């Protein structure tokens, strides 16, 4: 049967520690509904289910019968030039009433302008003006949804000449001023550190750890001059080390494994989740002793070594994995 995590939160501003979760993806529906594997919670991409009915909602309903579900979004466009889309927020809020998600998250990004949605999570300039814009909108979203709201640090592949702050200063100030949570993506820290040359250890240490509502773990692909957050393959050892460092500072935080490209059999994904459980416990034990399980120098050396690796693979992935095909011929997942 699914686990029922009741571990206490490490800070009174944080919700219940849900444990270790997995991204809910189409190729795994049949296995999940038939076998009911032990999983603390599943995370869904909200937009995949913001429809009035059909197969996506059917399968979500079946999952909700047995599991806790958390919502994560990719289309809020909180840093975009236009006002927030109220119709989108209404549909998002309606879905939260069905899933009973303990919080809702999206990204520190912009993803559209002029009525066009670009289907990407584009970075924001790290400026006071951008902070004010995102703070105001984050407050609006949290008030409208009547739920805790969190924003995720994104992976990025360009910077702005006009930026006047580090990314962690930008993230921290928004979270504090807007009184929202942080969805801390450890792999994104590593990816952006590689691409832009900053110290990932400093990023982990400088954010307000009490604001972290959830953690994401995933893998990436090295293309030589840059690496991309492809969510393909196993979490790398340097990212595991950064994860332990995060837990040593933040305490027990719900953690999710994302795997969206070349999605493996469910058993492989589940094993990755159990690895996260083990790594988290190792970090919590070190935290309790006032010690550390992390060699910070080794993380920096691994990052430097990764920059010497070249790769000819081409990027190609989709946030949240493949979508359900909405045709009459597509069978429902069996139970």
CA distances from 178 to 96, 135, 186, 290 (A): 21, 5, 22, 31
Cα 242 from chain centroid?
Answer: 15
Q: Is residue 62 part of a domain?
A: yes
The tally of domains found in the chain comes to 1
pLDDT at 112: 67
Task: Compute φ and ψ for 272, nearest 5 degrees.
Answer: -65, -35
Q: Is residue 56 part of a domain?
A: yes
Q: Is residue 326 part of a domain?
A: no
Q: DSSP assignment, residue 7?
A: B
Q: Is residue 76 part of a domain?
A: yes
Write out pLDDT tens, residues 252-272.
999 999 999 999 999 999 999
Q: Is residue 233 part of a domain?
A: yes
Write out pLDDT tens, residues 155-206.
999 999 999 999 999 999 999 999 999 999 999 999 999 999 999 999 999 9
Q: Is residue 107 part of a domain?
A: yes
Write out pLDDT tens, residues 35-78.
999 999 999 999 999 988 899 999 999 999 999 999 999 999 99
CATH code where residue 204 lies: 3.20.20.150
Domain of residue 291: give its range: 20-306
Q: Is residue 221 part of a domain?
A: yes
Q: DSSP assignment, residue 211?
A: G
**8 Å CB contact between 125 and 161:** no
pLDDT at 44: 98
- DSSP letter string, 25-77: -GGGHHHHHHH----SEEEEEGGGG-SSSSHHHHHHHHHHTTSEEEEE-S---
Query: pTM, whole model, 2 decimals?
Result: 0.88
pLDDT at residue 5 greater than cutoff 50: no
Residues shown for the chain? 335
Q: Is residue 187 part of a domain?
A: yes
């Amino acid at each position: 049967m699914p686990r029922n995590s009741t571990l206490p939160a490490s800070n009174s501003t944080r919700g219940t520690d849900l444990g270790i979760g997995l991204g809910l993806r189409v190729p795994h529906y049949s296995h999940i509904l038939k076998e009911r594997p032990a999983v603390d919670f599943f995370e869904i991409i909200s937009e995949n289910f913001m429809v009035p009915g059909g197969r996506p909602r059917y399968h979500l309903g079946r999952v909700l019968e047995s599991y806790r579900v958390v919502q994560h979004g990719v289309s809020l466009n909180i840093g975009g030039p236009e006002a927030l889309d109220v119709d989108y927020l209404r549909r998002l809020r309606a879905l939260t009433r069905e899933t009973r998600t303990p919080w809702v998250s999206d990204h520190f990004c912009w993803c559209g302008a002029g009525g066009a949605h670009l289907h990407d999570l584009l970075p924001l300039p790290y400026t006071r003006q951008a902070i004010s814009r995102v703070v105001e909108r984050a407050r609006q979203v949290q008030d409208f949804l009547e739920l805790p709201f969190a924003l995720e640090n994104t992976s990025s592949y360009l910077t702005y000449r006009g930026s006047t702050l580090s990314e962690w200063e930008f993230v921290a100030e928004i979270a504090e001023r807007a009184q929202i949570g942080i969805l801390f993506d450890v792999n994104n820290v590593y990816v952006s550190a590689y691409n832009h040359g900053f110290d990932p250890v400093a990023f982990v240490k400088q954010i307000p750890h009490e604001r972290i509502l959830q953690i994401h773990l995933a893998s990436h692909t090295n293309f030589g001059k840059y690496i991309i957050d492809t969510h393909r393959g196993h979490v790398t050892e340097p990212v595991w080390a950064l994860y332990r460092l995060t837990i040593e500072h933040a305490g027990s935080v719900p953690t999710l494994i994302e795997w969206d490209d070349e999605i493996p059999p469910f058993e492989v994904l589940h094993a990755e989740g159990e690895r996260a459980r083990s790594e988290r416990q190792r970090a919590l034990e070190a935290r309790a002793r006032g010690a550390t399980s992390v060699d910070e120098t080794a993380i920096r050396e691994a990052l430097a070594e990764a920059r010497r690796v070249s790769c000819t693979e081409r990027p190609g992935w989709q946030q949240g994995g493949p979508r359900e095909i909405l045709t009459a011929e597509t069978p429902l997942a069996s139970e």
